[in-house]
Amino acid sequence: MATLRTPVLATDHFQGALDAPLVLVEYGDYQCPYCGEAYSIVRKLQDQFGASLCFVFRNFPLGEVHPEAEAAAETAEFAGANGKFWEMHDLLYENQSDLGQTLCVALVEELGLSASSFHAALKTGTYRERVRTDFVGGVRSGVNGTPAFYINGRRHDASYEFGVLATALKKRLRIT
């Protein structure tokens, strides 16, 4: 079973406490339809497990199959640098079928962020390295597709359906 090679740090994008008994890491791609399905599943898991769960999202854009994924990840990172990562993360998944530069600019503006700063960041690749760091960490951890989940540092190789993931989390909760 593969393990998470890049430890979860305070610099990651996370919801919940880093010292929660359950840490669920997702390597995701904003254009991947399976990640779109997993988005709502993760939200249900967060509701079910509450303070026992810390959710971490890392970028893993599969650019060869999803041409808008890299720019979407950089858009999320731009928003994150302005304190709005999770708002953008949610909006990108909720509008996944319309991904593209027009949508990204509209979402940046919807969140009250500067469109001109956003364009400059994309043009200069300001957030490209952050996205690449996530991606390389995923490769080192054995990620070969999205979504890829790790529970307390161990890859979850079964289905990401709600019931299956919830059972795996409960099992890990009993072990710790």
CB within 8 A of 168, min separation 6: which ones?
A: 151, 156, 158
Give per-10-residue mean pLDDT for the chain (176 aa): 93 98 98 98 98 98 96 98 98 97 98 98 97 98 97 97 97 81
- Which pLDDT value is given to residue 174? 83
The residues with which 55 forms a beta bridge, in sequence order, are 15, 24
pTM as predicted: 0.96
CA distance 72 to 89: 9
Instruction: Report whether 18 contacts 54 (CB < 8 A).
Output: yes
> In this structure, how many other beta carbons lie within 10 angstroms of the beta carbon of residue 140?
12
- Which pLDDT value is given to residue 168? 97
> Hey, where are the domains in the chain?
13-175
- Which pLDDT value is given to residue 173? 87
CATH class of the domain comprising 13-175: alpha beta
